[in-house]
Amino acid sequence: MSVIEIKNLVKIYNGSAVQVTAVNGVDLTIEKGEFTAIVGPSGSGKTTLLNMIGGLDSPTSGTIVVDKTDLSTLNKRQLVDYRLNNIGFVFQAYNLIPVLTAKENVSFIMEMQGAKKDAITQRTKEILESVGLGDRLNSRPNQLSGGQQQRVAVARALASKPKFVIADEPTANLDSKSTENLLDIMEELNKKENTTFIFSTHDQRVVNKARRVIVLEDGKIVKDERRG
């Protein structure tokens, strides 16, 4: 079952002196439960493509359909609701709220969605335990290592059981051990909860874990390889 259907997607940035085509005629279908890495050199269009899938940027032309909803038909308020209720985001900068504990950072999204307090408490504890931070519920970001902060970010992304998770260079600021731990956790959650993961990455360790690898060059898909 497809979660995302992209047809003839184009994104052109008009600078003061030059026009840049960041994404150039991409056709792509992502199925539920995929663990997909989008790779390519800097400037190939990886982050732009993810930002459009995530509703953070709008295409110049083409369509992105998520569960039969064409994102181009949504207004700004509807796009905010779309992101809140459908997508988990993981960024290389963690983007945790400094004054909140790990528990509060994770529960924040569910509170915005209007979930019941008991359900929030149970899911928060469950998901933080699943990323190995059951003993750090009350720690603030500055009391956690980089790897631990990124695991909180993953827990936050998965807390509300989104349709898919967008992870833009999630291992860029992590050492080797933290990277391996994080990837193992995300792979386990992918299998356990059938959550769809879409990575943008330069990290070969992420590529090695992926079950599908899409290569972008100059805004076009030049290779699409499925494994196992």
Element (H, E) at 226: strand 220-226
pTM confidence score: 0.88
pLDDT at 172: 84
Question: Tens digit of pLDDT for each residue in 145-199?
Answer: 988 998 999 899 988 888 899 999 888 888 888 888 889 888 988 988 888 999 9
| CA 78 and chain centroid, separation | 19
Report whether pLDDT(228) > 70. no
Structure tokens at 203: 């990290």
pLDDT band at 2 (very low <50, low <70, confident <90, very high): confident
Specify the fold of 32-61+68-226: Rossmann fold (3.40.50)
Question: Tens digit of pLDDT for each residue in 59-118?
Answer: 999 999 998 889 999 999 999 998 988 899 998 888 899 999 999 999 998 999 899 999
Distance (Å, whole) CA 223 – CA 131: 32
pLDDT band at 42 (very low <50, low <70, confident <90, very high): confident
DSSP 73: G
